[in-house]
Each structure stands twice: as C-alpha cells, then as structure tokens.
Structure 1
Amino acid sequence: MEDIKRDHQRILRRHRREKKELEDQIQSMKRSVPKGDREQRKQLRLNIARLQAELEQRHLRELEKFQEKFPSSHALDSLAQNLAKLNLENRHPHSSKARRRRERREAEEREEQERALAAELEPLEDFRKEEEARLVAILAARGLEMKALPLDSQCMFRAVQDQLPFVATVDGLRRRVADYMRRHVDDFLPFFNTDDDDDDEEEPLTREDFLAHCEHVARLRPWGGQLELRALSHVLRRPMEVVQAAGPALLLGEQYRCKPVTLVYVQYACSLGEHYNSVQPLRAGAPAPAPRLL
C-alpha cells in the first residue's frame, strides 16, 4: 500500500512539474511572436489552448490508467468521501444544494469550453498536412529534406548546432548568445516584446527587463526566438536562414558572406506548437514534392 501511495504521489509531482514547464514554454512562445502581428497572436492563443488541453487530457489518462492497475488506490478516495459524508451532517441543508448547483454550473462551463476548443482545433489537421507538403516541396527544390529534432525548448539551438562545422554545445551557444545580447542591449531592446497579447499602450520594457531575459536565456533554457537567432548569426558570423511554409525564407545576418545555417520553422505539424528542425541532403529515393503546392 505504501509503495502504491508513493507511486501515486510521484505521478502527481511529475504532473505539477510538467504544468510548470508548460507555463514557461507558453511565456517563451509569447515572446517569440511580434507584438503587432495580430494574426500570429491569434494563432498563438489557439496553440496555447491546444497545448493546455492536450496536457490535461494526458494527465487524466495517466491517472485513470494508474487506478485501473491499482484498484486499491481508491481506498484513500473512499476514506475522503466517507469523511465528507460525515461532515454533511453538520451542514445547513441549503449548503449542499448550493454546492451541487455550483458544481453543475462549473461542469457545464468546462463542457462548453471543450466544445469551443474542439471546434477551433478541428481545422489544424488540414493545416498540418498542407504545411508539411509545402515544406517538403520547398526543401526538395533545394536538394534538402527536413531533419527532425527533439520537441523541446532547445530545438532552435539544436538546429544550429547540428549544422556547424565544429563542435559546440547547446548550453555553450546559449551562453554566447546571452553574452552578446548583454553587450549590445541597444540593438535588441527596441524589438524585445512583452507577454501581453493586445495591450498596445503599455510602457516599453526597460534595460533591466532585457538583461533579466538574457540571464533567463543562459540559465533556464527558454524557447529561442528571432532575437536569439539574430544574436547567433553575429556570434557565429554566419547567416541564419529560416525556411517556412507560409512565405519566403527569412534571412538574418546577411552581411556575412558564407553558407547560411538553414532552419525549418514548423508552426502546425508538432503537438507542442511552434518548432524548429534542421535540414540534411535529400536522400536518394525520397518522394518527389507535390507540384500543386510549389
């Protein structure tokens, strides 16, 4: 029984940690989207809602699976329910009715939110397929294909690391980026965004805010965005090219005359939302791109 209880507590601790990690990821995703781009902000809100819903559903499935595996784990829940029933004897009769009404109203609100979220997310599968086909076509025209990388907050730095002709660690790249941005605050501060979606009248962020962000980049491994990618181009003295399905490739550090590091920006194809992959030469026998998507 004690082992089962410890396993249950371990699952709950992991769930709390994953929720905190998702919160950090969401803050980094917000920073990566230009404040004035309302279309991307709208898509960002959809991505955030999807991530939160997927995490909550996965946690519920894990707890249900645990309870199926260890039915005796219901004992603690049964004890709590019995104590709750005993407490009802000392309550005013109207309090139980009010509680039931409140719980019913909350359940209806949750169901309404789930229906609205499902309606918003329904078109995303088509977006994923179209985005993947477009990226395959764009890269194949260059003799390249996408190289998948782990889905985490290190993906942008890993995509750069993967293509460097010398050995570098992701943490080392982060530290160099943070140091460069600290030394060139005035070049980056005007483009440093807040996490707020629609407040166009807020006060601009301060130098201290940006320096705190640099410390965050170096130590806490947040998701990288355009600021960090631009700093990488200067640190490595190489252009950074971002291939995307929605428009022309973005080129940063074009003043450096050498072969660019090419990253693939994926907006819909990953369950975590926005993501960066690397590229590699197109392998023989790889499927040809669909001409209609070029």
Structure 2
Amino acid sequence: MSCVDAIGELETRLGETTLEDVAGRHRRERKELQAKLQAMKKNAPKNNKNKRKEFLEEMARLEGELEQRHKSELEEAAVAPEPIELPVEKPTTVESDNNEDNEVNPTKQQEQRVSKAQKRRNKKEQEAREREQEIRVELQNAANQPSPKQIELQQITAKLSARKLALHMIASDGDCLYHAVRHQLQLHALPGHSVQELRQETANYVRAHKDALICYMTHPDTGDLLNDEQFEDYCHDIAKTHAWGGHIELKALSSLLRVPIEVIQAEGASTLLGQDEFGGAPLIICYHRHIYQLGAHYNSTMPLE
C-alpha cells in the first residue's frame, strides 16, 4: 500500500461515525418511533381491556428500548478515537553511477511529500476532535437543561406547596381522571365510588344532557361536531373502555357528585367547576401535559405533611 492510499484509508476511517452522525440518527429514530406510536394509538382496541393493557405496555417497552440503546450509543461515540499511526513508505533507492544528487534528491522529495500529507492528516484529525468536542459540549448542555416534564412538575409543585398541598401520583392507565377523583372523594370522606361506577354515571350524565353538551363535542380527526352515532360511541367509550377524560367528563363528574372540582396546571390559573352551583371545599386534582409521552395525565393531591 502506498503512502497516499494509506492516507485515503485513514481519512475514510476517521469520517465513519461521529457524535454528530449519532445524534442526527437518534433524532430520526425518535421521530419514526413517535409516528409509529401515534399509528399504534389510533389502531389500539377500545373495547378490550386486556388488549389495551398489552398495547400500553408495548408502547412503553418500545420507548424504553430506544432510550436505552441511544444512551449506549452516545456513550460509545463520545469516546475520543485513539491516534492512528500512519505507515510511512520507505523511500526507494535510485542506483546511479553519475553523481550524489541522484541518490539524495528522490529521498528528499519523498520526505517533503510525506510531510505535506502528514500536515493534512493532522489538520483533519484536529478538526474532527474539535467538532466532536463541540458536540459533546452541546449534548452535555442539553442534558443539564431541565426537560418540559421537569419544568412542569416544578411549577405545579410550587403552586401546591403555596397551598400546603403535595402531589399524589396516579397510575397512567387511561383511567387517571377517575382514579384522581375517587382518591379525592376518599380524602374528603365523601361517599365512595369505584372507577367503573364513576365511568358509568358520567356516561349516563352526558347522555341525559346531550343537548347542552354536544355543541362542545368534536371529532378528534376532523374537528367537526359529533353526529348522533358518534355521540353514542363517545358515551359508550366513557362507560366501557379506558378512554381518557377531559373537560366534559370533569363537568359531568362535578354535577353528578354535586361537589366543586378544581384542576391545577403548570401555567395559568386553575379551572374551577361547580363552585357556583354547589359551594364547599373543592376536590383538587392536577393536569399534566408533559409527564408522559403518550398524552396528558391527571394526578391527585393531598395535604402537605
């Protein structure tokens, strides 16, 4: 192998994989996974509790495996490559009976050629090291920055602390709203209900107040108001599946339980439903946008010890 070929091979090896390549590939893989999870979420079974549970577990597993693999690959790519010794081709000896210059000049020319190649190699290696160091600094700075989840938790915790309250964590299983309300009923020594009872009573309330509520109910894909068939499907999902609950379900729960419900979130004022109708101490729950990647979530609260 000639000296020039060795330089070309070395430059190819130096450019194979860098932190920049790894970070770019990770961004693409995260986007692809999110698209896959959204497709899985749309196709998730609504009427089969076991299948729904398996679906949620599979989504969590995929996210965990991707995160673990990305972490390992970043750690491997962050290791600076060891200097690679470039083989230097020995100058060929030119035999001549003429004069000494014929013996010395080819060697000097070869040394000059290798020296220029070495300078180019050193320059490329230095640029690669500087680029990778910049990427490591950027990644470290990003790691040190609080995530949206951390910022949201800090803001909600601060609001609760000011009111002598603390978070009570609720499992993320699609029933978080109903579990949070059930916990509040127990905390306030109010008549208890199971999650399934709360779901069934909420569905009954929405059906009974269709004329007042349907003007606020839109299809998640088209944005159009629900027709009669879609409205009945909506009520069925409340009662028989793990469909996530929102403002309509909160309004229904406040009315059928005849108790105010206050929803605290990170930004903006809290939402208070039923205060004018019922009065008294409200049930206090928290709404999170970023705590889980699969969607919004509700937690309960409890007195700060």
Bucket of the pairwise TM-score, normalised by the shorter protein: 0.5 to 0.7
Match of 2:260 in 1: 239
> Partners of 2:144 and 2:246 in 1: how far apart?
26
> Partners of 1:149 and 1:25 in 2: how far apart?
25
Aligned positions of 1:163-242 closer than 5 A: 163-164=184-185, 165-196=190-221, 203-242=224-263
Task: Specify which structure has the bigger relative contact order, considering alpha-carbon pairs within 8 angstroms and separated by 6 or more residues.
Answer: 1
Q: Deviations over 1:62-84 (max 9, x none)?
A: 9xxxxxxxxxxxxxxxxxxxxxx
> Partners of 2:156 and 2:245 in 1: how far apart?
21
Match of 1:135 in 2: 156
Shift of 1:185: 0.3
Question: C-alpha root-mean-square deviation of aligned residues, in Å?
Answer: 3.6
Shift of 1:209: 1.4
**Unaligned 5+ runs, structure 1:** 1-18, 29-50, 63-120, 284-294
Q: Closer, same or farther in 2 for the Cα pair 1:187/1:26, shift >3 Å?
A: farther
Q: Closer, same or farther in 2 for the Cα pair 1:124/1:205, shift >3 Å?
A: farther
> Partners of 2:263 and 2:288 in 1: how far apart?
10
> Partners of 1:218 and 1:166 in 2: how far apart?
20
Query: TM-score, normalization: structure 1?
Result: 0.55
The amino acid across from 1:150 in the alignment is A
Shift of 1:59: 6.4
Aligned positions of 1:1-294 closer than 5 A: 23=41, 56-58=62-64, 125-164=146-185, 165-196=190-221, 203-254=224-275, 255-283=277-305
**Count of aligned pairs between the two proteins:** 183
Q: Closer, same or farther in 2 for the Cα pair 1:123/1:222, shift >3 Å?
A: farther
Identity, in percent, stands at 31
The amino acid across from 1:181 in the alignment is V
Query: TM-score, normalization: structure 2?
Result: 0.53
CA contact (8 A) 1:263 1:279 kept: yes
Q: Deviations over 1:98-132 (max 9, x none)?
A: xxxxxxxxxxxxxxxxxxxxxxx999952122111
Shift of 1:221: 2.0
CA contact (8 A) 1:240 1:260 kept: yes
> Partners of 1:124 and 1:54 in 2: how far apart?
24
**Unaligned 5+ runs, structure 2:** 1-36, 47-56, 69-141
Once superposed, which parts of structure 1, at least 4 consecutive aligned residues long, lie more than 2 Å away?
A: 19-22, 24-28, 51-62, 121-126, 269-273
Shift of 1:204: 2.8
> Partners of 1:142 and 1:26 in 2: how far apart?
39
- Aligned to 2:264, the other structure's residue is in SS state strand
> Partners of 2:265 and 2:67 in 1: how far apart?
34
Shift of 1:271: 3.9
Q: Closer, same or farther in 2 for the Cα pair 1:54/1:155, shift >3 Å?
A: closer
CA contact (8 A) 1:157 1:173 kept: yes
Q: Deviations over 1:223-256 (max 9, x none)?
A: 1111111100111011111000011001112221
> Partners of 1:27 and 1:227 in 2: how far apart?
23
> Partners of 1:195 and 1:124 in 2: how far apart?
33
CA contact (8 A) 1:158 1:170 kept: yes
Larger radius of gyration: 2
Q: Closer, same or farther in 2 for the Cα pair 1:26/1:229, shift >3 Å?
A: farther
CA contact (8 A) 1:25 1:153 kept: no
